[in-house]
Chains A and B, each alone.
Chain A
Amino acid sequence: MKNDFRKMEDEMDRLATNMAVITEFSARISATLQDRHERITKLAGVHALLRKLQFLFELPSRLTKCVELGAYGQAVRYQGRARAVLQQYQHLPSFRAIQDDCQVITARLAQQLRQRFREGGSGAPEQAECVELLLALGEPAEELCEEFLAHARGRLEEELRSLEAELGPSPPAPDVLEFTDHGGSGFVSGLCQVAAAYQELFAAQGPAGAEKLAAFARELGSRYFALVERRLAQEQGGGDNSLLVRALDRFHRRLRAPGALLAAAGLAEAATEIVERVARERLGHHLQGLQAAFLGCLTDVRQALAAPRMAGKEGPGLAELLANVASSILSHIKASLASVHLFTAKEVSFSNKPYFRGEFCSQGVREGLIVGFIRSMCQTAQSFCDSPGEKGGATPPALLLLLSRLCLDYETATISYILTLTDEQFLVQDQSPVTPVSTLCAEARETARRLLTHYVKVQGLVISQMLRKSVETRDWLSTLEPRNVRAVMKRVVEDTTAIDVQVGLLYEEGVRKAQSSDSSKRTFSVYSSSRQQGRYAPSYTPSAPMDTNLLSNIQKLFSERIDVFSPVEFNKVSVLTGIIKISLKTLLECVRLRTFGRFGLQQVQVDCHFLQLYLWRFVADEELVHLLLDEVVASAALRCPDPVPMEPSVVEVICERG
């Protein structure tokens, strides 16, 4: 090992001396080459400078060639490189000359670029390129913005014009869906592109630039909306909303993209507003449709009632007509609800806007359409009560009856059914006040009551006129001994029976007081029993007449006063009672105005007995008929200077025979 170390030491020494020698040689080389090195560096530098100068001197021609060739990008690049240097050395005349040349050419270049930009036949990317280059050339950015926007405006306006042309009367106008598609793909996508390009290019411009874009978008957007609204306004008819809803959906959807891009322009809000307006109009339209349908039903009913019955074929019964009307209205309502429901379908893009979720459902559909329709139905029905024709010639009484039953049915069942249906389909999500079911039901009941009251008045009037004429035109003083019941009384009974049947078709029987077993055989026992003095013989002493009058007055005190017009209940018996009360009261008043001979009185007796035989079964309380008829005969007796009433048995015989 010692030997190894000794060898290494020797070698290390030899290495050191070699290194020293190498170092010395290297230093000697660099010293000699030093000189050459500097000279070469200098030459390289000069070469580079010369190349730059050559570039500069050749710049004008190169630029010109580029411009001619159309390689604008390159030209702009050259220009960019040279600009700073030229700027710095422009005090040197030769550089100045070059700079001037370059400027001229650059101006020409810019002009050409602008020309290309303006011509615009090229697509958007090329335009973007032009704009980029122009920006790189140092053109003022606002001008470029303006030009860019002006150019875009020209393109978009052309789109708008083509849309407008579709609105014109030239046939055939495409349907709404196509229109919105066209608009969407043409105008809206163009707007999107412009907006995107603008924002890219002029992002450096800051808020002023964005503001310009927003203004631009707003203006063009408003024109577009105006066109869309015009087109939608043309979409009047048809109950079917599906096409309209789809078109609106597309329209709304397309505007989401530019809406996001151009939030400041408020495009999306304006679109939503348009859709809301259209929805409202459609609701109004549906309401009118429902009202027209209702009036149509009524006209049909009137025609059916007025149509002459063909021999052997019964016309449609009242109950059938009522069922038809009710079902037809219900089906119309359901159809309207279904078609309006499309507006809130889930797939539709605007269906979760706050308007549609809230106000549309509660105020628009429930209040405006359904409640509004029910109210207008009630009003139309009530208008039949106020018709000026006092003789009832305008409105057939059967129609009044039908309408009152319809309103009553609505109050009991249909209104709540319809409103439940509406609420299910349109889940109300806002808190605006809605009409409760009870209010509507109360209104419907009131309408039904008024109609029924009017019906009673009208029918009562018809019978009263008959009775009045019969009393006023007959000569009661010189009439002969009665042999039979007068024809008019039979007519009255027939008419009352017919009314009873008619009302019975639609209304329930109602409650009547239990009849005593001998009611049909009642004779004038009241008449004779109330005058306890037996026969009403004429008497000249003051006491007797006083007694009978007193007796009848006392009897009146204890019997219930007959209210001729008490409110009518919704059943057949009440209706008939009202009609009979009116008719008999008329008879009473007319009888009090005439003077009767003896046989006249007897004829009245016979007539009243006949009426009593047949009318008691129609009224709720048969005492009523007895009372009124007794009053009639008593008044007739008072009007007779020679009252000799007929024997009750004879009266009965005549009545049975007649």
Chain B
Amino acid sequence: MEDDAPVIYGLEFQIHIIDFDDENNIISKNVLLHQVGEIWHISASPADRGVLATCYNRTADSKVLTCAAVWRMPAELEPGGHESPEDAASPAHALELLCHLDHAARGSTACVVWEPAGPGGRVVSLADNHVLLWDLQESGSRAALASSASLEGKGQLKFTTGRWSPHHNCTQVATANDTAVRGWDTRTMSQIYCIENAHGQLVRDLDFNPNKQYYLASCGDDCRVKFWDTRNVSEPVKTLEEHSHWVWSVRYNHSHDQLVLTGSSDSRVVLSNMVSISSEPFGHLADDDDLSDQEERRPEEKSQEPPQDSVIATYEEHEDSVYAVDWSSADPWLFASLSYDGRLVINRVPRALKYHILL
């Protein structure tokens, strides 16, 4: 897991790699310098642990441009490495630039998303109103533009965020611009679906349900989180209104998709249990082998109500707006949240719920 603290100290822009040792509850930190500009978006390659892509601001001629580039971390700092943790005074390491993802039109790149599966050679970047699909060749040192699509329409359309769907053989990408969410097919770069007015105001983040193919979650400035079935985009399947200000990020748990994490600028992180729209709405069903044993128990089980959607917990450790939340890819019960004041909080799912879901 890595996080960055967009703290501007003069012209120093840094990426902090934070190692969280689960058993001993120790946190150690390594610092990487990213001198080309202020980082606005960072994403790691799912295939290669040491590769990451950033979108950064570059100030040139009193204009701010957001560019995108792919980097490699120094090998000894790759996460999961068993190096002994350095102390805080270790010198900052440098990132090795692999390639730039620059579009000819010099638009502002809003974000870069990696292909979730496969050899990790493809990325999609969203620049202004273009969706750009890149092929990374020669282990990432060169990026060739494979295909692109544009959003036509009145006014200045600008993509704000995007996400690559892990289903359908990784051929779908969802993007958000203003209040609409669109789905694109990367093979043809055409629009598949469009959810107009997904939120009353700006859509801030998207996430796909890792277990259910057509489900998508979006959150926005209307303080709501909405869950959509992309086959029927006229109405959200579910709406959550737990926050009192803009919701900046929404994340599904990678394995148990009933756990949904949201972070908002009202300084709260909310963990919700969306059982009714998860892939296991009724919990574990009885196996066929156990049928004979459980004959008598069947009627009582059937009469039980399916567990209701609920808020599991609200985490209020932050003092300022929470801008990012994410789940650990190593331990499905661990998650982290980052707020404006640079505070990174790592939390666990409550044990009772964990055992309830597992058993």
Contacts and interface: CB of A to CB of B under 8 A. Distances in A.
A175 to B, nearest CB: 52
A595 B38 contact: yes
Contacts of A585: 245, 265
B201 A589 contact: no
B8 A561 contact: no
A639 B8 CA distance: 7
Interface stretch (A138-146, A221-229, A508-516, A549-557): A549-557
B331 interface: no
A451 B137 CA distance: 58
B267 interface: yes
Given A391-B200, A595-B38, A641 B222 contact: no
Interface string A626-643: 000000000100110100
A478 interface: yes
A154 interface: no
A540 B265 contact: no
B8 A641 contact: yes
Contacts of A635: 340
A585 B62 CA distance: 27
Contacts of A545: 7, 9
Interface in B53-79: 57, 59, 62-64
A597 B200 contact: no
B126 to A, nearest CB: 16
Given A561-B267, A561-B319, A589-B246, A556 B341 contact: yes
B13 to A, nearest CB: 11
A617 interface: no
B319 A540 contact: no
A556 B319 contact: yes
Interface string A534-551: 000011101001000100
Nearest to B265: A589
A549 B342 contact: yes
B10 interface: yes
A419 to B, nearest CB: 34
B321 A565 contact: no
A390 B224 CA distance: 12
A189 B159 CA distance: 87
A477 interface: yes
A427 interface: no
Contacts of B266: 563-565
- Main secondary structure on A side of the interface with B: loop
A153 interface: no
B320 interface: yes
B11 interface: yes
A539 B12 CA distance: 11
A638 B7 CA distance: 8
Interface in A636-658: 638-639, 641
B159 to A, nearest CB: 15
A539 B9 CA distance: 8
A246 interface: no
A565 B10 contact: no
B188 interface: no
Contacts of A557: 319
B232 to A, nearest CB: 18
Contacts of B308: none
Contact of A540 (B9, B38, B62): B9
Contacts of B222: 390
A490 interface: no
Interface string B201-216: 1000000000000000
A390 B200 contact: yes
A592 interface: yes
Contacts of B245: 564-565, 582, 585
Interface in B301-332: 319-321
A24 to B, nearest CB: 126
A545 B12 CA distance: 12
A522 B295 CA distance: 76
Given A391-B200, A545-B9, A553-B319, A477 B59 contact: yes
A405 B59 CA distance: 53
Contact of A477 (B63, B244, B340, B341): B63
B148 to A, nearest CB: 26
B8 A564 contact: no
Interface residues of A, number: 28
A597 B319 contact: no
Interface string B65-109: 000000000000000000000000000000000000000000000
A597 B9 CA distance: 15
Interface in B17-68: 38, 57, 59, 62-64
A538 B10 CA distance: 7
A564 B244 contact: yes
A197 to B, nearest CB: 66
B265 to A, nearest CB: 6
Nearest to A539: B10
Contacts of B63: 477-478
Interface string B170-198: 00000000000000000000000000000
B8 A556 contact: no
A390 B220 CA distance: 13
B57 A595 contact: yes
A549 B266 CA distance: 20
A540 B11 CA distance: 9
A638 B59 CA distance: 16
B8 A477 contact: no
A440 B10 CA distance: 62
A589 B321 contact: yes
Nearest to B63: A477
A31 B8 CA distance: 172
B267 A553 contact: no
Contacts of B57: 595
Contacts of B341: 549, 552-553, 556
A565 B244 contact: yes
Given A553-B341, A564-B245, 9 more contacts: A390-B201, A391-B200, A477-B64, A539-B10, A556-B341, A561-B319, A585-B245, A635-B340, A641-B8
Interface of B: 7-12, 38, 57, 59, 62-64, 200-201, 222, 244-246, 265-267, 319-321, 340-342
Query: Which 3 pairs of residues, A with B, have the shortest CB-CB distance?
Result: A390-B200, A565-B244, A478-B62
Interface of A: 390-391, 477-478, 538-540, 542, 545, 549, 552-553, 556-557, 561, 563-565, 582, 585, 589, 592, 595, 597, 635, 638-639, 641
15 contacts: A390-B200, A477-B62, A556-B320, A556-B341, A561-B267, A564-B245, A565-B244, A565-B266, A582-B245, A589-B265, A595-B57, A639-B8, A641-B8, A641-B11, A641-B59
